[in-house]
Amino acid sequence: MRHIAILRFSALGDIAMTVPVVDCLARQYPDLRITVVSRPFVAPLFEHLPPNVDFFPVDLRKDYVGLRGLWRLARQLKRHGVDAVADFHNVLRTIVIRRILQFHGLRVAHIDKGRAEKRRLVAHTSHKRLPSSFERYNKVLAHLGLDVTLNFQRLALPASPFIDELLGPRGKTEYLLGVAPFAAHRGKIYPTGKLAEALALILEQRPSTRLFVFGTPREMDTIRKEWDDRFPRIVFVSDTLRGLGQELQLMGRLDAMISMDSANMHLASLVGCPVVSIWGQTHPDAGFMGWGQMGANIVQQELSCRPCSIFGNKPCRFGDYRCMQKISPNIIAAKIDEIFTGKKPKEIV
C-alpha cells in the first residue's frame, strides 16, 4: 500500500474526530501518502498535519451529484494514485464509491458504527462504555493492515497576527473563555438563560474574564441583545472571524471552553483547549467525547431516562427536557473555576 484515501463527508464533529487518527497515521507511516476526501469547508482541519497528508475537496451537492458523479469521483481517486480506501463514514454514497474502487482492485475497509450496541444503550438494556469514534476509525485502518497508536497531542498551528490583534495585550488576571451555547438538536442544548446565569457566576469570581461566543449569525441573534447588555466583555465570534481556520486559531488561545455535545467541543479539543461539556439526551459513553478531554469536566444529570438518544434529536418523552433543566448553573461555574484555578492565563503580555 502506497496511497490511502480516507472518506468522511459529515457531520463537522465527526470529521473533526478523524483528525487525531489521520495525524497519528501520517506520523507513524511517513512513506504512506494519505488523501482525506471530505467537504471543502473542513480543509483547515487538515492544513497543519504532516506533509504526507493532502486534502481532496468534494462537493457532493454540486460537482459530484448522483451515481454519475460518484462514478466520476471514484475514477478521479484512482487516477490520483489511490490504492486503498478507508471508509470512515459508511453511508450510501461512500459505499458506492468504495465498491467501484474495490471492483477496480483496490483494498477497502469501512467503519462499524456499532448501531446495535448504541440501540441497546438508549434502550437501557446495556450501559457499558462503547468504543469511541477514534477507536472505530482506527479499527478501519487495522483492517487494512495499518497498526496505529493513538497518541495525538494537539494541532500545531502557526502564529496568527489577526488573532493577536483581536485579543490585544492581556492583563495578569485576564482569562479567555469560549462559549458554544448551541448544537444541532434541542436535546443537546442547555437553556441559554441558565447558561447566562453560569457565566454571571464566573464573572462574579473573575470580572476581567473575556467571553468569546461561538455559533452561526442566526444563533447569535437569539441571544445577542440579552448577553450584550449583561456581559460587557463579550465577542460574538461570527461577527469577526471568517472560516474554520480562524476559529481554530482563536480556540487555541482560550483558557477554557463551555460547550454542548457539539462540533465546537471537538474543534476545541483538537487545539488542546479544556472543555466543560454539557450533556442532555446524549451520553459520553456513546463514544463521542472530545479528544483528550477529562471526565471531571463533564456536566450531566444521571437520570433513569438518560441517554434517550445518540444524536439528541428525539422529542423529550416528558416534554420538559429535564436532563438539561436539572443541571445547575453553579456546577458549570464551579468546573470553570477549577480549570482557571489550576492554570495561569495563557500568553500574558
- pLDDT digits 0-9 by tens, 254-295: 999 999 999 999 999 999 999 999 999 999 999 999 999 999
Q: What would the mean pLDDT of 124-151 be, rounded to a whole number?
A: 97
Of the candidate ranges 193-197, 241-245, 298-302, 340-344, the one whose mean pLDDT is the lowest = 340-344
Give the integer Cα–Cα distance in Å for 169 and 326: 39
Q: What would the mean pLDDT of 74-81 be, rounded to a whole number?
A: 97
Q: Residue 344 pLDDT more than 70?
A: no
Could you tell me what percent of the chain has a pLDDT over 70? 98
CATH 3.40.50.300 for domain 161-341, yes or no, is: no
Tell which CATH architecture fits domain 3-143.
Answer: 3-Layer(aba) Sandwich (3.40)
Q: Residue 296 pLDDT more than 50?
A: yes
Contact 39, 15 (CB under 8 A): yes
Q: Residue 347 pLDDT more than 90?
A: no
Cell of 161: 497576527
CA distances from 317 to 120, 274, 336 (A): 18, 33, 31
Q: Residue 19 pLDDT more than 60?
A: yes
Q: Residue 349 pLDDT more than 70?
A: no
Residue 346's pLDDT is 53
Give the integer Cα–Cα distance in Å for 253 and 272: 9
Same CATH fold assignment for domains 3-143 and 161-341? yes
Task: Record the pTM.
Answer: 0.96
Q: What would the mean pLDDT of 196-224 be, rounded to a whole number?
A: 98
Nearest Cα residue to 274 out of 327, 215, 335, 333? 335
Q: Predicted confidence band at 345 (pLDDT cuts at 50, 70, 90)?
A: low
Give the integer Cα–Cα distance in Å for 17 and 22: 9
Q: Residue 229 pLDDT more than 50?
A: yes
Q: What would the mean pLDDT of 108-132 be, rounded to a whole number?
A: 96
- Which residues are registered as beta bridge partners of 258? 179, 276
For the chain, the domains span: 3-143, 161-341
Could you tell me what percent of the chain has a pLDDT over 90? 96
Decide: helix, strand or coil at residue 60: coil
Residue 172's pLDDT is 83
Residue 25's pLDDT is 99
